[in-house]
Amino acid sequence: MEENNHICETGYFIKNNFLNHQQIENLKSEIFYLENKFIFNGNSVGTVWFNKNYYDVYNPITNINSLNLLETSVDIAKLIFKNKYLDYRLTNLRISVEKYNAYPLDWHSDIVNHTVRAIIYLDKVGDNNGSLSIISGSHLNKSNNINHKVNLTKEDLNKKRNLNCDAGDILCFDPNIIHKKNPVLEIRRTIMLEFQQQKSSSNKYIILIDNSKLTKKTLESFQLFNSANGTSKFELNVYSKKTSYHTPFIIFLKILFNRLFKKN
Ligand SMILES: [Fe+2]
């Protein structure tokens, strides 16, 4: 990936203080507000729960207002790809909250080409709270990346690096690198973005572009959001059509309460 020497050589780079303290606090309070609003019966302002300790903010570009995530996407694309950033497309954007290791991820490699992912951390992450560990240089061994799950050799483990970060830092990495998420013993709130090279035929995720968030800056770089290239399939993030087994019980209590005591 010639556009970014850091990612090309080491497979990742970290930029400290990408967001400042006030931006983080504002985002956390918005996410907390949305945490208690569930997506039911056409309501699209809220959160989607995968299990009782893991949820995503639904349509984050629309539902987050303290930060214009379309503008943030432009900033990150420029940070990673420099003046070639319009050769890339935003292909996923998620805000996720995980508590108590609700979604463990062991060593693996995501077998994709010409793709960079970025994670903005809203909490300090470390060995015991959801930082990413990587095997240095492993993004270059693409011919060995046949399986998603990877069993490490002793030699691999000697090249292990823990990419611990502070709240506000952004980690950008080549998803071909062998990586794992360390256990989340407390809470891990993240904004995750994926960029693919414009012509990539890899699957992409559907991103709702909210026209109330369009600004001069986003319109100038609008190609970044036009990810349809005629060769890729689009998919939704893995939201179930059924009520999850782990749906918090409070949802049902709230529905019952509304039905009994509120007219609408
Ligand atoms: Fe991964």
Kindly give the distance from the C-alpha atom of residue 105 to the centroid of ligand 1, in angstroms, as a whole number: 8
* DSSP code of residue 91: E
SS3 content of the chain, % helix, strand, coil (to 5): 30, 25, 40
Distance CA 104, CA 129 (A): 11
Question: Can you give the pTM of this predicted structure?
Answer: 0.87
- List the chain pLDDT tens, one digit each, 264 residues: 545 667 888 899 999 999 999 999 999 999 999 998 877 777 889 898 887 889 999 999 999 999 999 999 999 999 999 999 999 999 999 999 999 888 888 899 888 889 999 999 999 999 999 999 999 988 888 655 556 777 888 888 899 999 999 999 999 999 999 999 999 999 999 999 999 999 998 889 989 899 999 999 999 999 999 998 888 888 776 654 555 556 677 777 877 887 788 654
CB-based neighbours (< 5 A) of ligand 1, an ion: 110
Structure token digits, residue 219: 């319109």
CATH number belonging to the domain at 5-261, selected among 3.40.50.300, 2.60.120.620, 3.40.50.80, 3.20.20.60: 2.60.120.620
- 140 alpha carbon – ligand 1 mean position (Å): 16
- Distance (Å) from CA 96 to ligand 1 centroid: 14
CB neighbours of 76 closer than 8 A, spacing ≥ 6?
118, 170, 172, 193, 195
101 contacts 157 by C-beta, under 8 angstroms: no
How far, in Å, is the centroid of ligand 1 from the Cα of 174?
A: 10
Q: What is the pLDDT, as a whole number, of residue 184?
A: 94
Question: What is the 26 CA–ligand 1 centroid distance (Å)?
Answer: 28
Q: Where are the domains of the chain?
A: 5-261
